[in-house]
Amino acid sequence: MTSDVLRDSPEQWPVSSSAVSLATGRVISVREDTLGPGFVRDVVVHPGAVGVIALDDEERVLLVRQYRHPVGHRLYEPPAGLLDVSGEDYLVGAQRELYEEGHVRASSWRVLVDAFTSPGMTTEALRIYLARDLSEPEQERYAGEHEEADMPIVWAPLSLLVEQILAGELHNPTLVMGCLAAWAARNGAGYNALRDPSAPWPARDRLG
């Protein structure tokens, strides 16, 4: 089996009509598409996001604890944020989120995972980076708002996070995908074999 057999391929069925008819919010809107054969699909339009698995010299991962109202949980999560700045480079967005949420900078970056978070209902595309060679910036800590104003930082061993993910104790998808990918890289070809931080992201680009 070649790698071409296991590659997702772009495809677009004809859309006879499309309208934002259900809801428009602060971050997302809900679009109603009528596809060629005559059936309707609701699509949550999302700007996309980036996340960061920041790994220190002791193989600990930087986490924040954030309250998530829709699911009624305070979750352990890696630094992450929306791609809502027009034209911003994806890596720059990830670097900003790592600084603002974790008060950390990194000099070594790689791409861990690209994913559609829920392709049956939303356009959200997510890129997760691996950040290493960490340092604390001299600037004062970024002051968050709303849920981000109460977001303590935790450092946890990557091995423990993998164990807890597989035990069903940790649920944030960026954490789950990022930690499992980092563990696979660590125990496989190594972190330096991961994609360059400027690697193309065509799946996100074609969504606009």
State how beta strands 73-77 and 125-135 pair: unpaired
Q: Of 88, 97, 148, 163, which one is the catalytic site residue?
A: 148
Per-residue burial over 178-198, b if 16 or more Cβ lie within 10 Å, else e, is: bbbbbbebbeeeeeeebeebe
How far apart CA 95 and CA 135 sit, in angstroms, is 12
Closest CA to 42 of 31, 53, 34: 31
Cβ-contact 97, 83 below 8 angstroms: no
Cβ-contact 151, 144 below 8 angstroms: yes
**∠149-152-154 over CA atoms, to 5°?**
155
Residue 145's CB is within 10 A of a number of other CB atoms, namely 6
Q: What are 106's two structure tokens?
A: 């990194």
Cβ-contact 195, 189 below 8 angstroms: no
Q: Tell me, yes or no, if 88 is annotated catalytic.
A: no
Active site residues: 148
